[in-house]
Amino acid sequence: MLAASLALAALGVFAAGCGEPTVRVEPPHPTGAAEAACRRLFAALPAQVLGESARVVQPASANAAAWGDPPILLRCGVHRPAKLRTSSDCLAIDHVGWFSERATRGYIFTTIGRDAYVELSVPSAYQPPSNALVDVAAAVRQAVPVRTPCV
């Protein structure tokens, strides 16, 4: 739960830059196959998630993206969720498997069985939160190879 709270806490810190609000985020630092997958993912991400436009993230990173206010935050190359077990439920959305965790201010969804763990933090203001997964699924499917499909 601490990791989930920390991830959503990253959503709440804002700064102003060039008259446009930015989202402060702690980007992950993937290596190897995960790093390459994350580069491909960020080139394929949609301009909008849940009808919300992309936001600028600080520090600038190829491993973090945000949309809307409150921000929906995507981070690529995060660590495996501490609570993820082989027996954990897998939410399959558009051929992408996700592990979901309830957090203090919303939900955190993390991909399962791919070359990189992709985390999507969705604040409670967006209902149902799983609809955000539909908007990013095509990019994840295209950019981050599956190793073990969600069953």
62-119: per-residue pLDDT in tens?
899 999 999 999 999 999 999 999 889 999 999 999 999 999 999 999 999 999 999 9
Could you give the count of Cα atoms lying within 13 Å of 100 in the half-sphere of its Cβ? 17
In a domain, 149, yes or no: no
In a domain, 119, yes or no: yes
Closest CA to 111 of 145, 60, 87: 145
Tally Cβ neighbours within 10 Å of residue 146: 16
Cα separation, 145 vs 120, in Å, equals: 17
In a domain, 151, yes or no: no
In a domain, 150, yes or no: no
Query: For residue 19, is pLDDT > 80?
Result: no
In a domain, 83, yes or no: yes
pLDDT value of residue 151: 66
In a domain, 18, yes or no: yes
In a domain, 62, yes or no: yes
Domain that includes residue 8, residue range: 2-143
Strand partners, 57: 23
In a domain, 97, yes or no: yes
Provide the domain count of the chain.
1
